[in-house]
Structure 1
Amino acid sequence: MENDPTIPRSGRPTIRDVSRLAGVSFKTVSRVINHQQYVSAEKRERVLAVMAEIGFQPSQAARALAGHRSHQIALICDNPNPWFVYEVQAGVRQRCERDNVRMIAQPYDRSSPALLDDIVALIDQAHPDGLVLAPPACDDRRVIDELQRRGIPFVRLLPGARIEGVPATSIDNEQAAYRMTTHLIGLGHVRIGFVVGDRSYAASSQRLAGHLRALADAGIAVDLDHIQQGSFDFASGKAAADALLDLPAPPTAIFAASDDMAAGALVAAHRRGIQVPAMLSVAGFDDAPLAEIVWPPLTTIRQPVRQLAIEAADLLLVQSDSSERRLDFQLVERESTAPPPSA
């Protein structure tokens, strides 16, 4: 085929070039490109050989024309923790690569008045085959209602309340927080401070609910002064810990709803000369790389963020009948927790 004068010598080879050189129909080439059935092995091999010979690379536009799909999915994600965002993007991209699908990542600014307009513009311009909605977009009714109105497939990653017929991937945030608080109580702690995450994330209320349930089950009265608001970031964790440690009877343990906030609590304690864990236990949530870097390393809840993202993309790409995939969490015990001083 090297001397075949019909092979294009300039410009980018097109799907019609492949069709002509392979002696098959345009539709047959389209089916090969889109990994569809109803193509004989002989024709498939012939098309693939021509594609390799002339260096044909199917464009996204050609794929869309051939299969009425863009072979792109959009990820809508916003989180104050860069590690979380990276893990979500890596997981979705990893699953997409298996099917030669492109991931489009769209930052999500929940405070922007043009938020819905931005997402609609993305849909109209890129025509994604579906969307993965990460927190807090996964609980934004404006976004959900618009996608349902348009009939666009989407999957919710770590959502709050379930929506009938809408697939999702999650962990049991409430049970995970319950498990950590129960662990601290088991060490002998009664005065336990809790730092709540950003109010706009469903996980924040879920983790607080788990903490309160553990206290109730242990017969420990809730002290509202021991509950401080945070924003999932280091600064808010430090501020919340300072407020807790300023109390006349400060807690002997602080459970922060993210590792970043727990790191802030560690710094607040260190600056006061409070030894962790001899004088104060500190626990986090996520098991981000930070959890092993800080001193002492954090006892925390490990949530498999990347695998959750992989599963979300898989639900979207295979269009599974499964409405929810719930993954396990794990309590990881490290050096930041111990019995209280009086125990």
Structure 2
Amino acid sequence: MTSKANPTMSDVARKAGVSPMTVSRVLNGDTRVREATRQLVADAMTALSYVPNQAAQRLAGARAIRIGFLYSNPSAGYLSEFLVGLLNQASPHNVQLVVEKCEADEHGVEQARRLIDNGVDGIILPPLCDIAELVDLLAQSGTPAVTVACGQPDDRLSGVRIDDYQAAHAMACHLIALGHQCIGFVAGHPNQTASARRLQGFKDALAEHHLPQAPELIVQGLFTYRSGLDAAEQLLAQEPRPTAIFASNDDMAAAVVAIAHRLALDVPGDLTVAGFDDTALATTIWPELTTVRQPIAEMAEAAVRALVRQIRDRRDGAPAAPQQVVMDHALIRRQSDAAPRVRPPARVVTRLRM
């Protein structure tokens, strides 16, 4: 009787409903395999805890691929989901990840140059992709690279993203449909084009519904929890106070909820709060956040697959034209949104003199 402690390629093939040859092609990054089939094989490997035989892959000519991941993101929830996506695809594609952190006050150029000098085969670039000098370095060096979550991708590099404009527009329209007319907005970091796209989607939704765009209702954030606290204090000190606040990520939205609680405001009774990303934080605070789901882990997985295809094509001497992938977003309603509370007008009681 065959032990299932160490599943084989044939076991994976049976689980996925494909041939062992197809599994082999997926492991070797063959670009002729359809994406749906590739996903079936990846799911089967995950279900069986299958670890590819590295030695066999090397004998088959599929030497390991070294991918550099350059990151600078203040949201721990976003980063953790992104890393899960990278790791999910690393083993099936024989990928070694080299992680390089970029500090908040750095532009990532030196870190990227160090990765290139150390011989990585390609680089995955999250929101740092908005830095022109960094993108120029990658394009001019000929290093295969994939940007992720870039609001305005560069045609010289492949990219994976959602439509930030449409996502923010949809959330703003949702809040307006609930009856909110005084809506605050916490913008994302000004050095990211995705932030500008989300802000424009919000503004256009208000304009389409003939709602005023009061400048004081748009406050700058930095995608950090701390900046969300500062923005919430600024917005909730205004008179009249906004009945809803839409923050450009979940970290800042969670901070808005915290300030509302400190001010003894009920969420969503006194204040509706909405976020963006749908990270784990959205369901670990109370009330759980209504938010835009950005498939962060899936975007990271798609970035790895796209980069592996580019690298293998390059090894085979085939041209690899950059490709842009736009993934679906979704509006997720939870407990932090409701129609604005209608308060009865103040009554003036006149005392009659006897």
Q: Is TM-score (shorter-chain normalized) higher than 0.5?
A: yes
Partner SS state of residue 204, structure 2: helix
Report the alpha carbon displacement of residue 206 of structure 1 after superposing the two structures with TM: 1.1
1:154 counterpart (145, 150, 157):
145
- Matched residue, 1:134: 126
CA contact 1:93–1:102 (8 Å) conserved in 2: no
CA contact (8 A) 1:281 1:336 kept: yes
Structure 1 residue 244 displacement after superposition: 0.9
Partner residue in 2 for 1:122: 115
Correspondence list, 1:46-61, <5 A: none
Question: Which runs of 5 or more residues in structure 1 are unaligned?
Answer: 1-33, 38-55
- For residues 92-111 of structure 1, the aligned pairs below 5 Å read 92-111=86-105
Matched, 1:200 2:194: no
Given that 1:237 and 1:262 are in contact with CA atoms closer than 8 Å, whether structure 2 keeps it comes out as: yes
Corresponding residue for 1:298? 289
In the alignment, structure 2 segments of 5+ residues that lack a partner are 1-26, 31-52, 311-319, 344-354
Deviation at 1:164, TM superposition (A): 2.1
Residue equivalent to 1:267:
258
* Deviations 1:176-225 (CA, angstroms, capped at 9, x unpaired): 01011100000000000000111122221111111001000100110001
Aligned to 2:81: 87
Q: Tell me by how many angstroms 1:321 deviates.
A: 5.1
8 A contact 1:71–1:129 mirrored in 2: yes
Number of residues of Structure 1 aligned to a counterpart in Structure 2:
285
**Quick one: which amino acid aligns to residue 298 of structure 2?**
Q
Amino acid at match of 1:120: R
Q: 1:120 to 1:187 in 2, by over 3 A?
A: same
Distance 2:195 2:308 in 1: 29
TM-score by length of 1: 0.78
Maintained 8 Å contact 1:70/1:128 = no
The 5-angstrom pairing of residues 282-321 of structure 1 reads: 282-319=273-310
Secondary structure at the residue paired with 1:284?
Answer: strand
Which 4+ runs in 1 deviate beyond 4 A? 34-37
* Structure-2-length-normalised TM-score: 0.75
Write the distance in 1 (CA, Å) between the matches of 2:172 and 2:29: 51
2:271 match: 280
Residue in structure 2 matching 1:76, options 70, 76, 101: 70
Displacement of 1:329 in angstroms is: 0.6
SS at match of 1:331: strand
The Cα offsets for residues 102-151 of structure 1, whole Å up to 9 and x where unpaired, read as 111111225237x42232122112x111111111x212221211122211
Alpha-carbon distance between aligned partners in 1 of 2:308 and 2:28, rounded to the nearest angstrom? 14
Sequence identity (%): 36
Q: Distance in 1 between matches of 2:166 and 2:86?
A: 26
The one-letter amino acid paired with 1:128 is V
* 1:249-264 equivalence runs, <5 A: 249-264=240-255
Q: How far has the Cα of 1:325 moved from its partner?
A: 1.1
> What residue is the counterpart of 2:237 in the other structure?
246
Cα 1:117–1:322 change in 2 (3 A) is: closer
Note closer, same or farther for the CA distance 1:208–1:57 as it changes in structure 2 (3 Å cut): closer
Q: Does 1:174 align with 2:168?
A: no
1:189 to 1:151, Cα distance in 2 relative to 1, 3 A: same
Read off the aligned partner of 1:94 and give its amino acid letter: N
Determine which of 158, 167, 177 is the counterpart of 1:186: 177
Q: Distance in 2 between matches of 1:312 and 1:57?
A: 22
- Maintained 8 Å contact 1:89/1:105: no
Q: Which residue of 2 is the match for residue 22 of structure 1?
A: none
In structure 2, what is the Cα distance between the partners aligned to 1:142 and 1:80? 21
Give how far 1:273 is off. Answer: 1.1
In structure 1, distance between residues paired with 2:297 and 2:102: 19
* Contact 1:75-1:131 at 8 Å conserved across structures: yes
Deviation at 1:286, TM superposition (A): 1.0
Counterpart Cα distance in 2 of 1:204 and 1:285: 11
Quote the Cα distance in structure 2 between the aligned partners of 1:117 and 1:336.
42
**Cα pair distance change 1:159/1:239, threshold 3 Å:** same
Counterpart Cα distance in 2 of 1:111 and 1:179: 33
Looking at structure 1, the residues matched to 29 and 296 of structure 2 have their Cα atoms a distance apart, in angstroms, of 32
Query: What amino acid sits opposite 2:111 in the alignment?
Result: D
The amino acid across from 2:227 in the alignment is: S
**Following the alignment from structure 2 to structure 1, what is the Cα–Cα distance between the partners of residues 104 and 116?**
18
Q: Does 1:335 align with 2:329?
A: no
Structure 1 match to 2:7 = none
- The code of the aligned residue for 1:89 comes to L
AA paired with 2:122? G
Aligned residue for 2:276, secondary structure, equals: coil
User: Which of 1 and 2 has greater Rg?
Assistant: 1
Q: In structure 2, what is the Cα distance between the partners aligned to 1:170 and 1:227?
A: 25
